[in-house]
Structure 1
Amino acid sequence: MSLEFIPTRVFYEPGALDYPLGKTLVERFKYMGITMSPTTSHNRITGIPGNTAAAQYREAKRTLVIGVRRSKTFQSCKPSAHYQLPLVTSCPGMCEYCYLATTLGKKPYVRIYVNLDEILGIASNLIKERLPEMTQFEGAATSDPIPVERYTGALKQTIEFFGREPNGRFHPLGFIIAPIFRFEGWQEAYRQLMERSAEELVKRAPSGWSSEQLTLEFISHRFTSKAKATILEVFPNSSLPMVEDERKFKYGQFGYGKYIYQPEEMQEMKEFFQDQAKRYFPLAQVEYFI
């Protein structure tokens, strides 16, 4: 079975045709025989089929929107980076748990932006504002850009951009283990995950590469009330642990509250993953546990 992302339908903003990439993509998808429809805004898409929330969700994941990102503002990206770099929004994955359920809602269609030079220009200005400090950007905070890279080439262009920026950095190579759940036998399950990750990395790493260049990030499971409602509507048979009374309520950096594990549970998880990191990736940098 092919894992390539081939959209069922494509929407495009007419303004996207003012950019070479926009023209190329529209012509390419027309040639592929994919249904094409103009839209006034990449933020407001109508016409995604489906008689139920679950069906609309599936169809949204098969929908690609070609747009122009007009906002000049980049969101913060604590604690992993200084800023989000908005190359893409959403992804075609069908994960039952997704931390983007709060922001993307029940129709998380995939959006790509054709004005990449302008987006990288904003990044360049942000780098200059922070001189002489280093400024780091996260390119997958609200998306997975890899499935659409074959169409956009955005990651390639972005990596080359940061190669020319002495005070700008793209997110470093590493592992993000998330979401981390507590369940019967969770320690052994995650130990095996860490062990296998280390083994596979040794097999596949290029010659001369060292794990001291690796970063590790650990994110425990959390959910918002909105995300829970969306998940249960889209996946009515979900077995995700989302019982508010078992969690601690905490406000996040974007102003809405979330339910996280209790403090003593968080501490146990943090100590466990710190120990596993030392065991399997002794030279790696643990960026954070949240």
Structure 2
Amino acid sequence: MPSPPDLGRRKLWLPKRVIVTRSAMEWDHGRAIAERAGRLGLDVEELPSDRLPLAMPEDERKAYAAAKNMLAVVVAPPSKRRLQPIAPSADWRIDLAEGCPAHCSYCYLAGSLKGPPITRTYANLPEIMAEMPAHLGKGMVTSRSRARAQEGTTFEASCYTDPLALEHLTGSLSALIEHFGRWDEALQLRFTSKFAAVDPLLPIDHAGQTRMRASINPASYARHEGGTDPVAARLHALARMAAAGYPVGLTIAPIIAAAGWEQAYAELIAQAGAALAHMPHLDLTIELITHRYTPGSRAVLQSWYPGSSLDMTMAGRVEKRTKFGSLKYVYDADTMRSLRSFFEHEITRHLPTARILYWT
């Protein structure tokens, strides 16, 4: 499937600094990541210990820039390898990395990760994959869902990172897809991405056991998604994955009820329908996630992106407590009803064969 000429080159993140811990270099996968980075012309610094040099400039903006331009190759400790439930997306979360090179002014990782926003990728991939077999059939989302039972036990690989954004540096996503393709069980690997460099994934024998979703928002909201590929490129990449036999999906997130949202999202859904039209045997799901934030994430994001036009006031918002007692701000009930009705109508109109997995 040739690329339309207007999509331009895909963005490949090339960090200014790549550091590899001593323990990471003891793993074949860690050494392979270091070699990949070297072949891309990046200077790779091998550390004498496992302690990351986290000293950052005192200026907050410079510290943010330095951290976002760093890739650390580390060993995931047992606490990071332990699988956690990740409703409503999947049964379990599996982390290949932590952090993301994109600059999204609504990033939910801002309130989830501690310290400078350095991207850490894990060298001990065999240990990470070894955690999964014990969790088969034991999840609370698809393992026990009549509506999604055909997915089997599901594992989400993009909770704390965008694995496709790092794939040219790590090869971790390809290795995981190959692993799932060889696994004769009722299961599915899932990942979502705002990037489009899917070429390494197309020839993999995936056995239909990996679902890629493109995370999309209207082109008019591109100012909120710095450093990512254009929406048209993401949709074209998704169509290429579908043509290669992958089940696919759209993650429309975060849905932002800004002025003119009806027209913006109507055009987006029509664009997605056109990109995926006439795909044979299309297996398409949709996840709808409205914009929300916590007090902590709002403070971090406003420090990272002080000039952002993203509305994080309390206008049209209400407080909501999670099951763990933490506080977040979501759209009020009237706004949520209007949004949901609109999206269900437009999806039925432009993507009639798609399955909406959840609304949140």
Distance 1:113 1:165, change over 3 A: farther
Q: Percent identity?
A: 30
Q: Secondary structure at the match of 2:29?
A: helix
- 1:97-246 correspondence to structure 2 within 5 Å: 97-104=106-113, 107-127=116-136, 129=138, 134-163=152-181, 164-171=183-190, 172=211, 173-202=248-277, 205=279, 208-210=280-282, 213-244=283-314, 246=316
Equivalent residue in structure 2 for 1:58, among 62, 65, 69: 65
1:195 Cα shift?
0.2
Structure 2 counterpart of 1:202, one-letter code: A
- Classify the secondary structure of the residue corresponding to 1:223: coil
* 2:66 alignment partner, SS class: helix
| Aligned CA distance change for structure 1 residues 153 and 233 (closer, same or farther; 3 Å) | same
Using the TM superposition, give the Cα deviation of residue 114 of structure 1 relative to its aligned residue in structure 2, in angstroms.
1.3
- Asked if 1:36 corresponds to 2:108, the answer is no
Counterpart of 1:17 in 2: which secondary structure?
A: helix
Does the C-alpha gap of structure 1 residues 219 and 257 become closer, same or farther in structure 2, counting only changes over 3 Å? same
Q: Identify the match of residue 76 of structure 1 among 79, 85, 102.
A: 85
Flag the 1:254–1:22 CA change in 2: closer, same or farther, 3 A.
farther
**Equivalent-residue separation in structure 2 for 1:2 and 1:199 (angstroms):** 21
In 2, the alpha carbon distance for the partners of 1:140 and 1:150 equals 16
Query: For the structure 1 residues 254 and 147, does the alpha-carbon distance in structure 2 shift closer, same or farther, using more than 3 Å as the test?
Result: farther
For 2:71, what is the secondary structure of its paired residue? strand
Distance 2:337 2:137 in 1: 38
Q: Deviations over 1:254-279 (max 9, x none)?
A: 55211000011111111111111111
2:24 corresponding residue in structure 1: 16
Look up the SS of the partner of 1:112 in the other structure: strand
The structure-2 alpha-carbon separation of the partners of 1:255 and 1:83, relative to structure 1 and needing over 3 Å to count, comes to farther
> In the comparison of the two structures, how many residue pairs are matched?
283
Higher alpha-carbon deviation: 10-19 or 218-227: 10-19
The answer for unaligned runs of 5 or more in structure 2 is 1-8, 191-210, 212-247
Alignment check: 8 A CA contact 1:248 1:259 kept: yes
SS in 2 for 1:122: coil
The change in CA–CA distance for 1:288 and 1:2 in structure 2 (over 3 A counts) is closer
Q: So what's the TM-score if we normalise by structure 1?
A: 0.89
> Which residue type is aligned with residue 282 of structure 1?
P
Contact 2:74 2:123 in 1 (8 A): yes
- Structure 2-normalised TM-score? 0.72
Backbone CA RMSD of aligned residues = 2.4
Q: 1:231 Cα deviation (Å)?
A: 1.1
- The structure-2 alpha-carbon separation of the partners of 1:41 and 1:179, relative to structure 1 and needing over 3 Å to count, comes to farther
- The Cα of 1:87 is off from its aligned counterpart by 1.1
Alpha-carbon deviations, 1:228-275, whole Å to 9, x = none? 111111111222111136411112355521100001111111111111
Moved more, 118-127 or 251-260: 251-260
Distance 1:181 1:22 in 2: 39
1:106 Cα deviation (Å)? 6.3
- Alpha-carbon distance, 1:29 to partner: 3.9
Name the SS for the 1:104 alignment partner: coil
- Please identify runs of 4+ aligned residues in structure 1 that moved more than 4 A: 39-42, 128-133
- Alignment partner, residue 282 of structure 1: 352
What secondary structure is seen at the aligned counterpart in 2 of 1:283?
coil
The answer on whether the counterparts of 1:106 and 1:230 sit within 8 Å (CA) in structure 2 is no
**Residues 58 and 136 from structure 1, CA distance in 2 versus in 1: closer, same or farther, beyond 3 angstroms?**
same
- Structure 1 gaps of 5+ residues are none
Structure 1 residues 234 and 56, CA, compared in 2 at 3 Å: closer, same or farther?
A: same
Q: How far apart are 1:151 and its partner, in Å?
A: 2.5
Shift of 1:2: 6.5
Report the CA distance between 1:225 and its aligned residue.
0.5
Shift of 1:27: 4.4
